[in-house]
Structure formats: structure tokens, C-alpha cells
Amino acid sequence: MAAEFAARSPVQTGKTMGARQMKTFDKLAWTRREALERGLAAFAASGAVFGFTRAALADDTLAEVKKRGVLSTATEMQFPPFDISDNGTYKGVDRELIDAVAKEMGVKASYLDLPWTSVLPGLEAKKFDLCIAPVTITKERMKHYAFTVPIADATAALMKRANDKSIMKPEDIAGKAVGGQKGTSQLAQLKAFAAKLPKPVEIKEYVDNNQASADLAAGRIDATVNSLPNLAYAANQRSDTFAVVLPPFGEPTYFSWVGRLEDKSLIDAINAAIVKLDEDGTMASIQKEWFGQAVALPKTVPEPTI
């Protein structure tokens, strides 16, 4: 941080000097002071040097990662099938994908388990390099974070109790209670969807998805909202209790990993690795293993629809 600041000031000095320099040309007479200023301006105008250094300093996370040999990442390990902590071992789609990405980059990945509410603050506080929790790409979030190319489908869908015959399509939740995780884009999509239904939907917000699915099993709510891959996995794990309501009701959206806006070179390197894994079939085999089927993903960061 200090280094970045130190590097930034010469560039700004360069700008002001530039303005003064114009004035001295107008006068066509150089006092000693002006000569000094001009000298400094020329020095700053070698400028590219500073501009370059600054960009390199602000954007040196990639170099730092390579030097360390470790890409440090964080996620909440409570998001199956993406992030699972199985008897203390980190597993899931994100784990397999980030390991492959790190290998492409010639480094090792380290993983930190943080509650979701701490993940993005931790990224901003530079406690780690990359958030590998799947984050839905939205317009609002794009202003604050750098998204990688999509790693999975994030279209919002509903899950009900397996024995509940009253919900056969998404519109059937009219007049019923639905729960979801606070602060997720899927919950926001549910609210927009519910507003268009003939009868009001009672929406309950939970700290995490576990509590929503626990309440669904206990009969306190009639459905939960989440991304289709998460729900498909949950329904598969407890097929006696849960079933997915098809088709998904939400706009097509995607999950990406996120980094800091200034770490462009790191995000570019990760994107290149993800695209390569997509092309060589690694992505498809990970998808088949965890989702049961392979889904084609965009190779660039798509324009968010929500």
C-alpha cells in the first residue's frame, strides 16, 4: 500500500508540472525556478516510467503469487457441490477447478474457509488473492469486483419437499412460504419473481442455505431458492426428502470467481487457465463428476442480465 502511494505521487506531480510547463512556454523566458520546474517536468514526463511502475506496483499480485508459488484463496466451505469440507478435507467443484488453474499457472493453491459475510471484506483487506466462492455475476457487483470467466451455471431455481404434490411448477409457490440465503442474487430474483404472482409469497431470509433446507425438511417453509446446481446436488443427496422444481424460474446467470479490480493481470492469467481447461475437457469432466452432466459455459465474462 505504501509502495503504491509512493509510486502514485510522482505521476500526479508530473501532471501539475505539465500544466506549469505550458505557462513557461507562453512567457518564453525562463527564470531559474522555471528551469528547475521544467527539468522536474521532463523528469516526470519520462513519465511512462512512473506510470509503468505504478501499474506494475498496483497490479503486482500476479508477480507476487508467482514469487510465493502460492495462490491464496478463500471461500465458504458450506456450498455443496462447489465447496465442501468433508471431515476437514476441502472438496468440491471449486477445489478441483482451482487446483487445475493453479497447476496451469505453475503455483499451488491454498484455501481459507470463511463465513460468506467475511469473504468479500477479506478480499478487499487483501487477506488472500482470490475469492473462489461461486459469485453470481450481477451489474452491481461488477462495479466493485473483477469477475473471472464463468465457472458454472447460476440460474435460480426452487426446491420443495419430495412428497409435496402442490408445487409442480415455479408459479405454484403463490401463497406459500419460500426461504433462501440472505444477500444472494437468487433470493433477489425470487423476490422479483414472487412480485409477479397472483398471491403474495412469504419470503424468509436465512443466514445460510443449511437453515433454509432444514426448515424445508421440517415443514416450516414450502420451498427454498438457490442456483440449479446446488439444488440438484442437494436433492440428489437426500432424494427421500427433497426434489427440484423444474424448470428454473430465473434469468440465465452464471457463477464466477472474483478478485480485486486492480489485480487485472492475475484475473487475466486465471481466465486464460479456465478457458484452457474448458478446451482440453478438464472442465467437462469436473462437471460430470459433480453435476452429473456437462454444461457449456461462455468463454468471456458475460454481460449480466440482473
Partner 1 sequence: MKPEVILHSFSYLTRAAATTVAVSFAGIIFGFAIGALVCAARVSRRPWLRRAGAVYISVFRGVPLLVQLLFIYYFLAEYGLDVPAIVAAVGALALSSAAYQAEILRGALNAVPHGQGEAATALGFSGLDIWRRVLLPQALRISTPPLISEFILLLKASSLVSVVGIAELTRVSMNIASETYRPLEAYLAGGLFYLAINLCLAALGALAERRLGTPSAR
Question: Binding residues for partner 1, per CB under 8 A?
Answer: 1-2, 74, 77-80, 84-88, 112-115, 117-118, 121-122, 125-127, 208-211, 213-214, 234, 237-238, 241
User: Would you say 62 or 159 has its CB closer to partner 1?
Assistant: 159
User: Would you say 40 or 162 has its CB closer to partner 1?
Assistant: 162
CB 204 → partner 1: shortest distance, Å?
16
CB 88 → partner 1: shortest distance, Å?
4
Burial class (CB in 10 A: 0-12, 13-18, 19+), 300: exposed
CB 137 → partner 1: shortest distance, Å?
23
User: Would you say 74 or 194 has its CB closer to partner 1?
Assistant: 74
> 8: closest CA among 42, 62, 59, 64?
59
Helix (H, G, I), strand (E, B) or coil at 225: strand
Cα–Cα dist 254/136, whole Å: 6
User: Would you say 24 or 85 has its CB closer to partner 1?
Assistant: 85
Cα–Cα dist 207/272, whole Å: 34
CB 141 → partner 1: shortest distance, Å?
19
CB 228 → partner 1: shortest distance, Å?
17
Q: In whole angstroms, how large is the CA radius of gyration of the chain?
A: 25
User: Would you say 24 or 72 has its CB closer to partner 1?
Assistant: 72
Strand order from edge to edge, sheet including 89-91: 78-79, 83-86, 89-91
> 119: closest CA among 105, 103, 134?
134
Contacts of 287 by beta carbon, 8 Å cutoff, 6+ apart: 93, 152, 293, 294, 295
User: Would you say 21 or 118 has its CB closer to partner 1?
Assistant: 118
CB 195 → partner 1: shortest distance, Å?
29
Cα–Cα dist 67/142, whole Å: 29
Cell numbers for 252: 440465465
Cell numbers for 195: 412480485
User: Would you say 223 or 273 has its CB closer to partner 1?
Assistant: 223
CB 241 → partner 1: shortest distance, Å?
8
